[in-house]
A and B are shown apart, each in its own frame.
Chain A
């Protein structure tokens, strides 16, 4: 079983559309994340959620809205897509976001490549 799974793996869409990327983890972790990898392969955190509560929001445009219906799921909805949103989006999870040793280990999904035309 895949520990952190994202769907879809590839997403091609037109400018102005609204799209969602889904993420699920079966590791029993409390914390989930979204990271963005741009065209130059640079990775940066977007959001983190701990037990459905937003912990980190790295000045991401309001068009991006994460939603966590339960601690095993963290979906990313993007409104009014722009060309600059084209990137690979990675979901990740960790046991917790602070405290005991081992919580720093992130498990990544395989990424969703978003192409906005």
Chain B
């Protein structure tokens, strides 16, 4: 079975500090993509960052970066210089390459950024 586990239901961080959200996944496939999506109170699903499993280099997008450990099947998200607008639910997800756009999501981590 293909699963994604986010072990931190809730986290909080002070504005301007750094926070890391954890994610582990399980699959027997070798070609896949990993994602972090953000869902603010507006409910919109926003793609934060994407990683291709065949790439060893960790993806970065401005203040967002990942630590991808393929052997350990771990894909954590680091948010640097946290801002109030980062307050949201964060979902880790993966998609098997060539399997029709099916995203498998984790349970989500609710992040609160405090002033």
Interface residues on B, range: 20 to 34
A-B contact count (CB 8 A): 60
Interface membership of B47, Cβ < 8 A: yes
Most A Cβ at <10 Å: residue of B39, B44, B103: B103
Residues A43 and B91 in contact, CB atoms below 8 Å apart: yes
Contacts of B91 in A (CB 8 A): 43
Residues B105 and A104 in contact, CB atoms below 8 Å apart: no
Task: Say which residue of B52, B95, B103, B108 sits within 8 Å of A41 (CB atoms).
Answer: B108
Residues B50 and A45 in contact, CB atoms below 8 Å apart: no
Distance in angstroms between the alpha carbons of A45 and B98 in the assembled complex: 16
Interface string of B73-113 (1 = CB under 8 A from A): 00000000000000001010101011111110101100000
Residues A41 and B107 in contact, CB atoms below 8 Å apart: yes
Interface membership of B64, Cβ < 8 A: no
Residues B100 and A111 in contact, CB atoms below 8 Å apart: no
Given A41-B108, A43-B91, A110-B42, CB of A105 within 8 Å of CB of B47: yes
**Which chain B residue has the least Cβ–Cβ distance from A9?**
B43
Interface string of A95-110 (1 = CB under 8 A from B): 0011101011110101
**Which chain B residue has the least Cβ–Cβ distance from A56?**
B100
From residue B11, how far is it (CB to closest CB) to chain A in Å? 15
Contacts of B105 in A (CB 8 A): 42-44
Contacts of A97 in B (CB 8 A): 100-101
Residues B50 and A110 in contact, CB atoms below 8 Å apart: no
From residue B33, how far is it (CB to closest CB) to chain A in Å? 5
Given A42-B108, A88-B43, A104-B50, CB of A98 within 8 Å of CB of B99: yes
Distance in angstroms between the alpha carbons of A31 and B99 in the assembled complex: 12
- A78-105 residues with Cβ-Cβ distance < 8 A to B are 88, 90, 92, 94, 97-99, 101, 103-105
Q: Which residues of A contact B (CB under 8 A)?
A: 31, 33, 35, 40-45, 48, 50, 55-56, 88, 90, 92, 94, 97-99, 101, 103-106, 108, 110-111, 113
Q: Which residues of B contact A (CB under 8 A)?
A: 33, 39, 42-45, 47, 50, 52, 89, 91, 93, 95, 97-103, 105, 107-108
